Structure 1
C-alpha cells in the first residue's frame, strides 16, 4: 500500500484527480507551486461510527524564514482561508467512496483541518485523502473501533513517547508503520522545546519556542519527518501530552523557567493551541486555549477500554514529600472525579490506563535511604493512592497501566500499598522506552531495579516502542528495540516479551 504521494508529482496527481472528486466550488480555486500537504495526513480518536481526519496546509514558497533572513518580519504573514475537500473510501483507489465533504482551513488555526467523519461502520478499515486547489494529499488509512457490544477477541496497538528530533532518526516509526496494528497511542513529549545533549543527527534550526508561531514551527518540523508521517498515515492515533510540549517539568500554572505566572500561562496557551493544530483530535470552534481537555475514554468492543489521563495541566504545583492531603494531586479534582466515574462504568474484560510516566514507586537511592523524582507520581503520593484505590474499589477486572517519559523500558507490579511491593498486586504496568531521547545509564537502571522489587524489568540500553496485543485470556506486551538511533538505516526487532493473564494481575516475563 502506498501511503505517501511523491512530492515531485503532486501537481500532476491533483489535476488528474480533479474530475473524480465529488465536490465543487472554492476547493478548486487555489494554485500551489509547492506541496501544501507536505506535513502529511493523520487520523485519530476512533469510535465505532466515527474517526477524526487531520491535515495542515503549509505555504513554504511565500513564508519568510526569520532564522535565515534577519530582515524578515518576526510574525509570518497570514494566508486567506481555504476550502479543503476530504474523502473516505473502502479502497485505496477510491473506487468505492463512502463519505466526502468540505472543511474550511483558517489562519487562526494555522490552516489545520480537523474533520470528525461520522456515519461509518464499526471495526473496519477505511482510506482517506484531502484536496485543495490543484493539490492532493497522500492517502491515509484508518480504522473505526468495534461496536461496544462486539465480541471481539483481539486488539493490537503500539504505544510510544519521547522523540527528541535532534537526537536520532525515527526508525521506530518506520518499523511501526509496517506492523499489523489497530491503533497507536502516543503518551507525550511529541516535540521537545529544548535542544540538549550531543552527537545530534539533525537540528531544530531555531531556539526555544515561547510564542504561538514558534511552537507551530517546532511541530511542523517534527511532522516533516517521513517515517513519522508513515506511521500517522497507517493507523489511527490517540494522543496525550507531557511537559516538553510546553516546557520541561512544568506543572499546572507553574514553570521552572517562567517565574511570572501570567506570562507563562500565555506561553502555555500558545503551546496547547499549536499541539491542537497538529494532532488528529476533534475540531473545536474557540481559539481560547487557557485550558484544553486531552483526557478521555475509548472503548473497543467488550474486550478493551482505553482511558487516557492528563498529568500536567491540572496538577498541584510544588510537589514534595513534606506535603500531605488532597493538595498533592496529579490529575486535579475534576479529572479525578471523572476517572472514578469512568472506572465505575467500565465493563470491558481489559482496562488499559494510559498516562505519561511511571505510577509505581521508584526509589532512586541505593541502600536504606530514599530519594525520589518529585516531578513524577512519587511526588504526588496522595493522588496515586486515590487512583489505585479507585481501581481496587471498582474491581476492575484486568487493569493495565502504560506510560513513557523515563527514556527506559520498565515492567512493574502495582501493589495495593501505594506503589510499593507491599500488599496484593492490583494492576500491571509497562513503560515504553524513548523513540530517540537520550537515556539514563543502564547501570543506574540496574541499581533502581535492585532497590525496587516490584519493578520486574528495566532497560535503557535501547530505544524504540512497545506493542500491546490484547486477547480474551491474556495480554502480551512486546518491547521493540532499534539497533542504532543515530543510523538512518537502522533495524528494529522485538527484544523482550511479557504477558498478563486474565484475572491474574502482575507481569510475567516470557
Structure 2
C-alpha cells in the first residue's frame, strides 16, 4: 500500500541517523555549539519536518520537538537549543547554510527558521538536530526571481482532512506527482470531539484550550502520508473554519450565548497552535486572537499567489446561514467576506500585477451556484453568494483591471467543481471574467461518489458549472506561460488502505482567454 512513501521516509531516516560520516560532520563540536543536555524518553522529531512560504532567496523550515505528541509534546518546561542545516544534496554533504535556534515551551517547542541567502529556483535539503537526535531529511525549493520567465510550475491543492472520516491515501498518490508546491486551503484539522464510529478517533472532547489544539494538530501530523508530503515539497497554507470553530465569522460563534471574550480566548489558542504546526514566517506570528495570514507569493513572473483569509474578518453569515434565497442582508454592500483592509490589499495587488497568472488561494466557493432544482433559488450563505456585493466588486475588478490569467482555487465543500466565473450571475450569458477550480476533501465526508443526483439536478440550471464530482482526492495543476491544465485526481474510497488514483477529469484555461475547456 505505502511502499514508495515508506521508502521515502526510510531513506530519510537512514540518511538522518545511520550515516556515520554525515553525523560526524554535523557533530556538536563541528558546529561549535553546546546542545542543551535534555534527557528525552523518545525521539523528539515524531511530527516530522516541513517547509513553506518560499521566495526567490529564502524559505521557512519547520519542526516541532514532541517525543510524546499526544501528551502535550512530552518536552520539559525549558528552552532547548536546536541545530539546523541546509544542503545542496540529499546526503547532506554540501552544506550551504547552518545555524542554531531555540525551541521554547511557551511556543510548544516549535521551530521556524527563515533560511536566507539561497539561490533562486533551486532544490535544497534540510534537517534538524536536538537532544542528540537527528530529524528526517526534508526537501524544499526556492522560487524563481520575479524577473524570471519561468517555463512551468506543477503544484497540487488540497483541503478538508478530517481524521476520523478516512485515510489520507490521496497524499500517498500526490507524492508521485513531481510537484514544486502544495497549497492547502484549510480545514487542516477538525475541532470536534471524538466519535465512537470514526475510522480513526479524535483524542478527547471538542477542543478549546491551547493544549487541546496542540494535541489535535499533533495527532493529524502523525499520519505517515501527510508527513511524507510535507517532507517532500514546500507548502503554502491558509485556514478555514475547523482550525478554530465550525462556521466561525470573525469574533462571532455559530452557537448562541457564547461570550465574545471567551470566544476570542479560544481563538487565541487555536491561532497559536496553528502557527506552531505550520511552516509560516514570523510575519504571521499571532498576537493574541489576531493573526495576519493573507499574503502574496510569486513564482517568477509566471504566477502570483494571493493567499486569502475569508474567516477572520468576515461579517456574520446572513439570512440565518445555511442554503437560502438571497435576502436583503446578503445584498448589503457592507456585508464583507474579506474585510476592508484585506480587500484593498487584494485589489491593489491585482491592479499592479505583472504575472501571467494570478491565483486566489482561498476557502469558499465564489460561483453563485443555485443549489435547488426548479424555479426556487437557494445559495450557500457561508460562501461568496452570502456576501453578494463583495463578490460583485471582485468580479468587476477582474474585468475592469484586465487581470491576466485570473484563477480562483477553492476548498471547503468536499466536492470537485470547475466553474466559469461570469460578470453577472443574473445574466447567465454574460462574459467569463475568471476561472474557478474547487477541490474536494482529502478524507472529510468519508467515501464519496462520482456524483450526487440532487446536486446534478440543480447544476443543470447553472450552465457556468463545467464539472462536478463528489469523490475524495486532490487537484493537480500544471501552469505554463500559455496554458493552465487542471487534473481532478480522486480515490474511490478512504475507509481502507490501497485505493487507486483516478484522473477523473482534466480541463485547460488559455492565458489570454478566461474560461474552462475540457482537455
TM-score normalised to the size of structure 1? 0.93
> What is the aligned-residue RMSD (CA, Å)?
2.4
Moved more, 149-158 or 52-61: 52-61
Partner of 1:70: none
2:66–2:75 CA contact under 8 A, matched in 1:
no
Q: 1:16 & 1:419 partners in 2: Cα distance? A: 68
Provide the secondary structure at the position in 1 that maps to 2:164: helix
SS for the counterpart of 1:362 is coil
SS at match of 2:380: coil
Could you say which residue in structure 1 is the equivalent of 2:389? 382
Which residue number in structure 2 is paired with residue 280 of structure 1?
279
Indicate the residue corresponding to 2:432 in structure 1: 425
CA contact (8 A) 1:414 1:427 kept: yes
Distance in 2 (alpha carbons) for counterparts of 1:284 and 1:150:
25
Which string of whole-angstrom CA distances, capped at 9 and with x for unpartnered residues, describes residues 239-273 of structure 1? Answer: 01000111111101101136211111111111111
The 5-angstrom pairing of residues 231-270 of structure 1 reads 231-257=229-255, 259-270=258-269
Per-residue deviation, residues 202-259 of structure 1 (Å, max 9, x unmatched): 1112111011110010000000101000000010000010001111111011011362
Note closer, same or farther for the CA distance 1:286–1:469 as it changes in structure 2 (3 Å cut).
closer
Please say if 1:49 is aligned against 2:54.
no
Aligned to 1:369: 376
Return 475-484 or 284-293, whichever deviates more: 284-293
Partner of 2:407, secondary structure, is: strand
The separation in 2 between residues aligned to 1:451 and 1:397, in whole angstroms, is 29
Aligned to 1:27: 35
Paired position in structure 2 for 1:442: 452
State whether residues 472 and 491 of structure 2, in contact with CA within 8 Å, keep that contact through their aligned partners in structure 1.
Answer: yes
Note if contact 2:54-2:143 (Cα within 8 Å) is conserved in structure 1. Answer: yes
How far off its partner does 1:353 sit?
1.0
Q: How far 1:351 sits from its partner (Å)?
A: 1.0
1:464 to 453, 456, 473: 473
Matched, 1:454 2:464: yes
Specify the alignment match of 1:105 in structure 2.
103
- Give the match for residue 297 of structure 2: 298
Distance 1:420 1:493 in 2: 35
C-alpha displacement of 1:179 = 1.3
Separation of aligned partners in 1, 2:455 and 2:78: 52
Change (3 A) 1:8 1:232: closer
In the alignment, the residues of structure 1 paired with residue 16 and residue 418 of structure 2 have an alpha-carbon distance, to the nearest angstrom, of 49
Q: In structure 2, do the counterparts of structure 1 residues 285 and 148 end up closer, same or farther at CA, with 3 Å as the change threshold?
A: closer
Q: Is the 8 A contact 1:166 1:195 kept in 2?
A: no
Deviations 1:326-363 (A, max 9, x none): 32100000000100111112111111111012100021
Matching of residues 11-410 of structure 1 within 5 Å:
13=18, 17-21=22-26, 22-27=30-35, 29-60=37-68, 79-195=77-193, 200-257=198-255, 259-283=258-282, 288-320=287-319, 321-323=327-329, 324-410=331-417
| Whole-Å separation in 2 of the counterparts to 1:281 and 1:3 | 24
- 1:68 corresponds to which residue? none
Deviation at 1:374, TM superposition (A): 0.6
Q: Distance in 2 between matches of 1:405 and 1:342?
A: 25
The separation in 1 between residues aligned to 2:426 and 2:397, in whole angstroms, is 14
In structure 2, the CA distance between the partners of 1:450 and 1:196, relative to structure 1 (3 Å rule), is farther
CA contact (8 A) 1:363 1:371 kept: yes
The 3-state SS of whatever aligns with 1:231 is: helix
Greater CA drift, 283-292 or 369-378: 283-292
Q: Is the CA contact 1:412–1:429 (under 8 Å) kept in the aligned structure 2?
A: yes
Is the deviation greater in 438-447 or in 304-313?
438-447
Q: 1:80 to 1:198 in 2, by over 3 A?
A: closer
Ranges in structure 2 where 5+ consecutive residues have no aligned partner: 320-326
Q: Secondary structure at the match of 1:131?
A: strand
CA distance in 1, matches of 2:344, 2:514: 25
- Equivalences, count: 499
In structure 2, do the counterparts of structure 1 residues 338 and 215 end up closer, same or farther at CA, with 3 Å as the change threshold? same
Shift in alpha-carbon separation, 1:318–1:78, aligned structure 2, 3 A: farther
Partner of 1:71: none
Paired with 1:233 and 1:243, the residues of 2 have a C-alpha distance of 25
- Offset from partner CA, 1:395-432 (integer Å, 9 cap, x none): 11211111011100000000011586341100011001
Task: Give the direction of change, closer, same or farther, for the CA distance of 1:13–1:134 in structure 2 (3 Å limit).
Answer: farther
Q: Please, which runs of 5 or more residues in structure 1 have no aligned partner?
A: 66-74
Conservation of the 8 A alpha-carbon contact between 1:449 and 1:456 = no
Is the CA contact 2:35–2:81 (under 8 Å) kept in the aligned structure 1? yes
